[in-house]
Structure 1
Amino acid sequence: MFQWRPATALPAIFATTLAVLTAGCNHTPASEDTEAEEDPVEMVELDPSITKLDEAAIGVSGPEQIEEAIEALDAQTGHRLVRELGQDGAPVPEGGDLFERIRKGYTLSDVDHPSVDMELRWFVKHPDYLDRTFKRGERYLHHIVGELEARNMPLELALLPVVESAFNPVAYSRARASGLWQFISETGRRYGLKQNWYYDGRRDVVASTNAALDYLQFLAEEFDGDWLLAVAAYNCGEARVARELEKNRRAGKPTDYFSLSLPRETRAYVPKLLAMRRIVGDPTAQGLAFSPIPNAPYFVKVDVGGQLDLHVAAELADLSKEELLALNPAFNHWVTDPDGPHQILVPIDRHERFQAGIAALPPEERVRIVYHRVRRGDTLGAIADKYGISVAALKTANKIRGSMIHPGQDLLIAAAPKGMKLPSEAEIASLVEEEKPVRRRGSSDKHVVRRGETLWSIARRHGVSMESLAHSNGVARNGTLSIGQVLSIPGTAQLASTDSSSVSRSTTYVVRRGDSLSTIATKFRVRLTDLLGWNNLTKRSVIKPGQRLVMYLEDRRRAGI
């Protein structure tokens, strides 16, 4: 199975970021003695490891549009979850209302405190904000509630992502916290959330929920079952809460949450959760009405058994890319990590279709690959725009350090969007007409190394394999060349002709499944011995799908044939 791996493990970071409404860990509240008229929740950015490839994949124009794409998906539901009283709502579904299940699992006390009242007033005045937030939460709440019940934890904690991220799966705070539960990198790793070029477990709906509940349970034990202190510590750290508790004990002061001198952000954090608890517990008392959320699983986890292109996954599930993004926001580049995890979330009503599609999917179709043949005038930026990927991802996939590319160079475009298909035989043959003519040379051809050139770029320029070029000149494949060094170009004796004016074109053929050296030679009307010589192969050599072979083909039109 083909596994696409980047040259480095560094995440690609885009420059443009989007501010989205959340109540995350960096909220600086309004003054405690005045009611906040402005939105009191923190403005946070999208996670920068979501690259332009991801946004292009869901059909939007740039990184600043990814949040709008998810909101557009929410708008497609055609109903409101949160509204003012007096407006018609949806009937209770057959399996019951998930909101009611949450209310029945309340264990925290309703606290009468001015800070809770202030946060409550803001939420009540902004039902549209609540509606957007809970529409996102529809996808995740049933899973979160089930996990809390399994651990015998307060079901009010299912509302904590409202405070943390507004249920935005790609929220990213100024403190570099990410995902529904807003983990920073260090804490995420502490609780087993893998983070690399392919995948960020902080944005994995299932993994991050498990990690968050593990952390909250640990904090509750640290503070003798006081959940308000545990939630406060989730925001500002257990060390800070422990210090303030000890300070109050020494001073003979109360040690409840509201008596501690905590950061301003944390002083608003717990009241937000308590305000949301009150609203969900009795929305009519606040002049609001909540439409029911079905008390049934929204998604199911499917083991796909290996690396998979998420574009392929969306097609197999007959699912929009927006919906797949909303359920699988952990994958940075629309291709899963070859080392796992190998699970993808799909809506439960698409489970059987997707499972059957995965079982029938040939290994060579799990990851889409496209090669772009560089033409005169191409730039990395233009090529990246054409395929909807970032320049950083393009450079990483092709091990390009600078910005120089050369006509005739093949660039790998991995996990390409739908419509970027593998080239057909006719398309491959047509590449011959796109190559720059190369006059036939004799066996004495030499190349003088210039600044910035490498064995690879020289081999590509002369249409020979890097292995044969290195072997002919007694240098290592990864060796360093010197400016002015003279290299012999191998294999050119086979191109000699009595007609010195005849013209050939070099092309690179990407080996496909079922190909053999003899069938390739026949297809392009070249001698097998020539094909072997151009690529430093023997008749016993084994070729594999994806391998590139260099060939010189006569331009029959130019030769007058």
Structure 2
Amino acid sequence: MKKFVVLAFGFFLSNGMFAQEKQEITPTLFTPKVTYLDSLKATFKNHETSTCIDERWLKEISDATLSNEMFFDIENMNIDEKVAYDLDTELLKKRLHKLDVQSPFIIEYNPALENVIKSFLKNRSKSFERQMALAEYYFPLFEEKLSKFNLPLEIKYLAIVESALQPKAKSRVGAGGLWQFMPATGKQYKLNITTYVDERHDPIKSTEAACQYMINMYEIFGDWSLVLASYNCGPGNVSKAIRRSGGKTDYWEIRKYLPKETANYVPAFLATMYIYEFKKEHGLVPHKAQMTYFETDTVMVKHAMTFKQLSDLLDISEEQLEYLNPIYKSKYIPSIDNEYFYLRLPKNKIGIFVSNEEKIYGYLVYLEQEKIRNLQLAQIRKRDSIAKQDSIAVASNSKFKVDENVEYEEVIKKRTKEVVSKNYYKVKKGETLSEIADKNNVSITNLRQWNKIKGSNINAGQSLVIQTTKKVTVNEVVKKPKPKTEIVEPQVEDAVAENTTKPAENKYSDAKSKLEVKEDYYIVQKGDSIFSITRKFPNLTADDLKKKNDLKSDNIQPGMKLKIQG
């Protein structure tokens, strides 16, 4: 028993000793490198943490399955087929009547509508709960624009049917955005579509375009259900359906003459309206939006930039930037003369951007210079590689060896250049070109030239370009011979040339000089090669020099002492 206790004690003691030894080993600590970006952000004013969209929620609201499900239902649903779901028909009729009284839309009970409502409640309840978070984000914007154009607020539900509130939703036929404009229709309603930008995905501009379309269609048909049908299949198809029905203008009476998708479209809209208005009665629990549209704001951008650069500068994820700015196709905000591009951010990030705008643009200029520098370095390396290959090719056909001893390094040389930037001045009432030129310290001639003005006529509210020139420091890559570590040896030339050393040092130099002359040694100088040294001694070949000094290759270093004779 005692033996066991002693062994056990020894075991715990040894463990303690090992633990103590481990604690004494201090790991090497590395201080993270502070980058220019870190230094810049440390100077930002109002640099506080903002309430940003949670990644999980961002992924959920950006999930394309929401829009894909809606597209599939509208294209493939058989709304005349009965659906088994516990919803009393009489109760449904009462609720639909209540909606009808409150709305300019004709909302009457119809068996097909009942089937769609039951199908959505049975199969898509979870999707609707997720969409309700998006509705909390977008509906205030939709309601503001619909009110501005004096349109029924219920039209906001159409965006759910069109895109499931996915700003980057795209249909199989090429329609895009919250309101699913085809490219040609989008351009017709002044939505800009270029390589970098697609305003069909801009929530504000596309909503205004949708409102204008609704107004135009209502002037033609005078019935909101027919307006919705024309939004889906075009006014031409609706007019054909009316003619084929014998001139009837009730949606439910012309429905069978419409394309299949449109035949399901209006019932899907009315079913969506019903589910949103009676969500509590059906036990739906809406997901909560972490941010509303009015908790964001826009700032005009004066320099091209990527979402990655903005993410690094403002500490906001690229995914959130993409969600807030779906208009930009390649996560890139361009800079084009006479065009303005806007960036949408959470409001407290707007404060950071505006307070530090010049620093941000300065950083972007720095990144551009770095990119140019790296391209220059790559070109130099490419030229060096080609030159080296050419040298090897020449050497293989020559009895001489190519000098490969001189190494080069890439040196960054700073120089000053002038950078022209554009600002804009808004003409005030009564101002003249002369007054504006004086205010901005520019000449009238330049002012006319920049704005292509022939005379002196300008109008109040007109924007004039004012160019300013700044001097900035840029980096230029220069290639120089790379200094090598030299072997410290007294050299004959130095000993002879300099006579200011102490007597003892002179004595040593003299002795060294005599030794070198007697034994015919040569001290390798910077830039020397085997070939260049043999040219200094007519009777000496490269092979002889290497043999005398036991050199296996042509590599020599400054300061080396080479035997020439003996």
TM-score w.r.t. structure 2 length?
Answer: 0.52
Q: Shift of the alpha carbon at 1:24?
A: 4.0
Q: Shift of the alpha carbon at 1:122?
A: 2.6
Q: Shift of the alpha carbon at 1:505?
A: 6.8
Question: Structure 1 residue 20 and structure 2 residue 65: aligned?
Answer: yes
Question: Structure 1 residue 271 and structure 2 residue 271: aligned?
Answer: no
List alignment gaps of at least 5 residues for structure 2.
1-62, 85-98, 395-399, 419-469, 485-554, 559-566
From 483, 501, 506, the equivalent of 2:403 is 501
Percent of residue pairs bearing the same amino acid type: 25
The answer to whether the 8 Å contact 1:511/1:546 transfers is no
Q: Which moved more, 1:131-140 or 1:501-510?
A: 501-510
From 318, 323, 326, the equivalent of 1:321 is 318
Aligned to 1:162: 160
Q: Take 1:332 and 1:513, find their aligned partners in 2: how far apart are those partners? A: 36
One-letter amino acid of the structure 2 residue matched with residue 328 of structure 1: N
One-letter amino acid of the structure 1 residue matched with residue 355 of structure 2: A
Q: Per the alignment, do residues 192 and 515 of structure 1 end up closer, same or farther by CA in structure 2, a change over 3 Å counting?
A: closer
Q: Take 2:358 and 2:405, find their aligned partners in 1: how far apart are those partners? A: 49
Q: Per the alignment, do residues 296 and 553 of structure 1 end up closer, same or farther by CA in structure 2, a change over 3 Å counting?
A: closer
Q: Shift of the alpha carbon at 1:233?
A: 0.7
Q: Per the alignment, do residues 435 and 124 of structure 1 end up closer, same or farther by CA in structure 2, a change over 3 Å counting?
A: farther
The answer to whether the 8 Å contact 1:168/1:179 transfers is yes
Secondary structure of 1:286's aligned partner: coil
Q: Shift of the alpha carbon at 1:297?
A: 1.7
The answer to whether the 8 Å contact 1:432/1:507 transfers is no
One-letter amino acid of the structure 2 residue matched with residue 554 of structure 1: P
Q: Take 1:241 and 1:508, find their aligned partners in 2: how far apart are those partners? A: 71
From 133, 137, 144, the equivalent of 2:131 is 133
Q: Shift of the alpha carbon at 1:218?
A: 1.3
The answer to whether the 8 Å contact 1:236/1:266 transfers is yes
Q: Take 1:354 and 1:106, find their aligned partners in 2: how far apart are those partners? A: 43
Aligned to 2:77: 30
Q: Shift of the alpha carbon at 1:287?
A: 3.5
Q: Per the alignment, do residues 513 and 105 of structure 1 end up closer, same or farther by CA in structure 2, a change over 3 Å counting?
A: farther
Larger Rg belongs to? 2
Aligned to 1:302: 299
The answer to whether the 8 Å contact 1:193/1:200 transfers is yes
Question: Structure 1 residue 345 and structure 2 residue 339: aligned?
Answer: no
Aligned to 1:256: 250
One-letter amino acid of the structure 2 residue matched with residue 214 of structure 1: Q
Question: Structure 1 residue 209 and structure 2 residue 111: aligned?
Answer: no
The answer to whether the 8 Å contact 1:438/1:504 transfers is no
Q: Take 1:112 and 1:559, find their aligned partners in 2: how far apart are those partners? A: 98
The answer to whether the 8 Å contact 1:510/1:547 transfers is no
Q: Shift of the alpha carbon at 1:560?
A: 3.4
Once the two structures are superposed, the pairs formed by residues 70-85 of structure 1 within 5 Å of their partners are: none
Q: Take 2:126 and 2:178, find their aligned partners in 1: how far apart are those partners? A: 20
Once the two structures are superposed, the pairs formed by residues 56-205 of structure 1 within 5 Å of their partners are: 106-125=103-122, 126-205=124-203
Aligned to 1:333: 330
The answer to whether the 8 Å contact 1:103/1:281 transfers is no
Question: Structure 1 residue 355 and structure 2 residue 354: aligned?
Answer: yes
Aligned to 1:284: 280
Q: Take 2:415 and 2:360, find their aligned partners in 1: how far apart are those partners? A: 15
Q: Shift of the alpha carbon at 1:434?
A: 12
Q: Per the alignment, do residues 199 and 29 of structure 1 end up closer, same or farther by CA in structure 2, a change over 3 Å counting?
A: same
What is the CA deviation profile of residues 196-237 of structure 1, one whole-angstrom value per residue up to 9, with x for unaligned ones? 11111111222211212111221122212x111111111111
Q: Per the alignment, do residues 317 and 547 of structure 1 end up closer, same or farther by CA in structure 2, a change over 3 Å counting?
A: closer
One-letter amino acid of the structure 2 residue matched with residue 335 of structure 1: Y
Q: Per the alignment, do residues 435 and 239 of structure 1 end up closer, same or farther by CA in structure 2, a change over 3 Å counting?
A: same
What is the CA deviation profile of residues 335-369 of structure 1, one whole-angstrom value per residue up to 9, with x for unaligned ones? 21222441111123433233223354234526954
Q: Per the alignment, do residues 437 and 324 of structure 1 end up closer, same or farther by CA in structure 2, a change over 3 Å counting?
A: same
Q: Take 2:201 and 2:410, find their aligned partners in 1: how far apart are those partners? A: 40
Q: Shift of the alpha carbon at 1:30?
A: 2.0
The answer to whether the 8 Å contact 2:373/2:477 transfers is no
The answer to whether the 8 Å contact 1:503/1:559 transfers is yes
Secondary structure of 1:140's aligned partner: helix
Q: Per the alignment, do residues 508 and 269 of structure 1 end up closer, same or farther by CA in structure 2, a change over 3 Å counting?
A: farther
Q: Take 2:483 and 2:324, find their aligned partners in 1: how far apart are those partners? A: 54
One-letter amino acid of the structure 1 residue matched with residue 78 of structure 2: S
Q: Take 1:197 and 1:367, find their aligned partners in 2: how far apart are those partners? A: 26
Secondary structure of 2:75's aligned partner: coil
The answer to whether the 8 Å contact 2:413/2:477 transfers is no
Q: Take 1:512 and 1:133, find their aligned partners in 2: how far apart are those partners? A: 55
The answer to whether the 8 Å contact 2:196/2:333 transfers is yes
One-letter amino acid of the structure 2 residue matched with residue 267 of structure 1: A
Q: Shift of the alpha carbon at 1:320?
A: 2.3
Aligned to 1:529: none
Q: Per the alignment, do residues 328 and 366 of structure 1 end up closer, same or farther by CA in structure 2, a change over 3 Å counting?
A: farther
Secondary structure of 1:283's aligned partner: coil
Q: Take 1:103 and 1:552, find their aligned partners in 2: how far apart are those partners? A: 80
Q: Take 1:556 and 1:440, find their aligned partners in 2: how far apart are those partners? A: 24
Q: Take 1:332 and 1:104, find their aligned partners in 2: how far apart are those partners? A: 43
Aligned length: 346
Q: Take 2:372 and 2:195, find their aligned partners in 1: how far apart are those partners? A: 23
Q: Shift of the alpha carbon at 1:173?
A: 0.8
The answer to whether the 8 Å contact 1:503/1:554 transfers is no
Secondary structure of 2:137's aligned partner: coil
What is the CA deviation profile of residues 272-314 of structure 1, one whole-angstrom value per residue up to 9, with x for unaligned ones? 1111111122223334344787987232222223433323334
Question: Structure 1 residue 229 and structure 2 residue 226: aligned?
Answer: yes
Q: Per the alignment, do residues 550 and 285 of structure 1 end up closer, same or farther by CA in structure 2, a change over 3 Å counting?
A: closer
The answer to whether the 8 Å contact 1:165/1:180 transfers is yes
Q: Take 1:553 and 1:151, find their aligned partners in 2: how far apart are those partners? A: 69
Once the two structures are superposed, the pairs formed by residues 381-392 of structure 1 within 5 Å of their partners are: none
What is the CA deviation profile of residues 83-120 of structure 1, one whole-angstrom value per residue up to 9, with x for unaligned ones? xxxxxxxxxxxxxxxxxxx9998432423122322221
Higher relative contact order (CA 8 A, sep 6+): 1
Q: Take 2:359 and 2:373, find their aligned partners in 1: how far apart are those partners? A: 32
Q: Per the alignment, do residues 338 and 259 of structure 1 end up closer, same or farther by CA in structure 2, a change over 3 Å counting?
A: same
Secondary structure of 2:231's aligned partner: helix
Q: Take 1:176 and 1:234, find their aligned partners in 2: how far apart are those partners? A: 15
Q: Per the alignment, do residues 503 and 19 of structure 1 end up closer, same or farther by CA in structure 2, a change over 3 Å counting?
A: farther
Supply the RMSD in Å over aligned alpha carbons: 4.3
Q: Which moved more, 1:293-302 or 1:125-134?
A: 293-302
Secondary structure of 1:212's aligned partner: helix
The answer to whether the 8 Å contact 2:130/2:286 transfers is no
Q: Per the alignment, do residues 25 and 342 of structure 1 end up closer, same or farther by CA in structure 2, a change over 3 Å counting?
A: farther
The answer to whether the 8 Å contact 1:301/1:346 transfers is yes
One-letter amino acid of the structure 2 residue matched with residue 348 of structure 1: K
Q: Take 1:367 and 1:173, find their aligned partners in 2: how far apart are those partners? A: 41
The answer to whether the 8 Å contact 1:513/1:544 transfers is no
Aligned to 1:554: 481
Q: Per the alignment, do residues 366 and 301 of structure 1 end up closer, same or farther by CA in structure 2, a change over 3 Å counting?
A: farther
Q: Per the alignment, do residues 373 and 308 of structure 1 end up closer, same or farther by CA in structure 2, a change over 3 Å counting?
A: closer
Q: Per the alignment, do residues 509 and 268 of structure 1 end up closer, same or farther by CA in structure 2, a change over 3 Å counting?
A: farther
The answer to whether the 8 Å contact 2:191/2:199 transfers is yes
Secondary structure of 2:280's aligned partner: helix
Q: Which moved more, 1:106-115 or 1:191-200?
A: 106-115
Q: Per the alignment, do residues 258 and 325 of structure 1 end up closer, same or farther by CA in structure 2, a change over 3 Å counting?
A: same
